[in-house]
């Protein structure tokens, strides 16, 4: 996939390494814990290990089966991450003298229910880029300001596609009946990669269209996008980079229902205020579809997939997301650019980094 970038500055030659000093992730819970109940909640910090590896070790220490732990999401292996996990409080005595070089229990509390997958608001990130010169630091600062104001394209990160980046090809082959996969988890993983690939392809197309409308005159943009001249004239009046189209599937943000955009002028103020966003399609049947001009573009990307629709349950994913509490600091003596930002669940910090440095990781 030829990913389109939203920011316009030239590529930045900075060094990014996912280690415990330069990449730190802190989970933001969806709700406060009650402080009482039969479930012990651990606030844990881990370094350079997967969530699964951490749970396996805690299982060996406590005797609690891995499947009986509760967690809201899986965290990166590389870097330092903090998250909340739960287990029955009967296992608490086994943790009295717990020590591990890569795992630290920061705090404990109790809750009435087991933590469930998806029960998180998002994640707070600290990221350090190295070997950054003053000119590039200015680009990074300006880029962060634009992202803070307008949002960012919510691509699936490279992690979704495997080491070789070809998991989506396997997923498509499975759906076409050209590949067998006995492991149900791997089968689902490959198919999800194909859904993610199509989503990213569609989002890149929409960014390309927005770029053409933003930078070309009406006549050239009309020819390049194949949209009606009157629509291009209207789209050019939208003040933000990412243009909303008639028929887009919009979604209340950060939570709520999806609906088809019938009147762009009425919905645009809510998009600018981050009250709604556009939702891209994750391939599958029985799901709300884009209509009108937006539907034409969506169909062009997903047309090859019509035979697969009945095999999958489709859904909608935020295509344009919003970072919060965005901060950037340049330390010229060390040539470091350090940033903090919070992202909603499902968004990738690496996508922000790629957007800022204009280079795929």
Give the domain ranges of the chain.
31-118, 158-321
Say which DSSP state 253 is in: S
Tokens of 312: 């999958």
Q: Is there a catalytic annotation at residue 76?
A: yes
Q: Which residue has the tokens 């229902």?
A: 257
Please spell the DSSP secondary structure of 282-300, one letter per residue.
ES-BSS----HHHHHHHHH
Q: What is the CATH number of domain 31-118?
A: 3.30.2350.20
Q: Assign domain 158-321 to its CATH architecture.
A: 2-Layer Sandwich (3.30)
Residues of the chain short of pLDDT 70, as ranges, are 1
pLDDT, position 133: 97
What pLDDT does residue 1 have?
Answer: 62
Distance of alpha carbon 330 from alpha carbon 339, whole angstroms: 9
Q: Sheet holding 276-282: strands in order across?
A: 258-260, 249-252, 276-282, 315-318
260 beta partners: 249
Options 76, 107, 136, 220, the catalytic residue? 76
- Report d(CA 337, CA 179) in Å as an integer: 45
pLDDT at position 106: 97
Q: What is the model's pLDDT at position 261? A: 98
Indicate the pairing of strand 80-88 with strand 23-29.
parallel
């Amino acid at each position: 996939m030829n990913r389109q970038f939203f920011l316009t500055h030239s590529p930045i030659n900075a060094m990014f390494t996912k280690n415990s000093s330069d990449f730190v992730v802190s989970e933001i819970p969806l709700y406060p814990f009650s402080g009482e109940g039969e479930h012990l909640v651990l606030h844990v910090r881990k370094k350079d290990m997967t969530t699964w590896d951490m749970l396996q070790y805690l299982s060996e220490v406590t005797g609690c089966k891995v499947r009986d732990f509760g967690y809201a999401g899986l965290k990166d292996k590389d870097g330092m991450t903090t998250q909340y996990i739960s287990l029955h409080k009967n296992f608490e005595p086994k943790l009295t003298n717990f020590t591990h070089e890569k795992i630290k229990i920061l705090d404990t509390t109790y809750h009435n229910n087991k933590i469930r997958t998806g029960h998180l608001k998002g994640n707070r990130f600290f990221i350090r880029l190295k070997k950054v010169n003053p000119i590039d630091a200015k680009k990074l600062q300006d880029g962060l300001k634009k992202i803070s104001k307008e949002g960012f394209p919510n691509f699936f990160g490279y992690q979704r596609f495997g080491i070789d980046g070809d998991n989506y090809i396997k997923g498509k082959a499975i759906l076409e009946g050209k590949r067998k996969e006995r492991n149900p988890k791997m089968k689902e993983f490959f198919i999800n990669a194909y859904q993610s690939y199509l989503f990213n392809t569609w989002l890149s197309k929409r960014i390309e269209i927005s770029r053409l409308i933003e930078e070309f005159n009406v006549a050239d943009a009309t020819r390049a996008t194949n949209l009606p001249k009157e629509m291009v004239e209207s789209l050019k009046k939208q003040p933000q980079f990412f243009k909303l189209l008639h028929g887009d599937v919009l979604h209340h943000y950060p939570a709520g229902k999806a609906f088809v955009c019938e009147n762009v002028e009425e919905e645009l103020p809510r998009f600018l205020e981050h009250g709604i966003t556009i939702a891209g399609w994750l391939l599958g049947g029985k799901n709300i579809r884009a209509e009108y001009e937006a539907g034409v573009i969506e169909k062009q990307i997903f047309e090859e997939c019509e035979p697969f629709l009945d095999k999958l349950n489709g859904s909608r994913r935020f295509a344009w997301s919003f970072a919060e509490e965005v901060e950037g600091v340049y330390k010229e003596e060390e040539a470091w650019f350090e940033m903090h930002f919070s992202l909603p669940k499902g968004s990738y910090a690496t996508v922000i980094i790629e957007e800022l440095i204009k280079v795929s990781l």
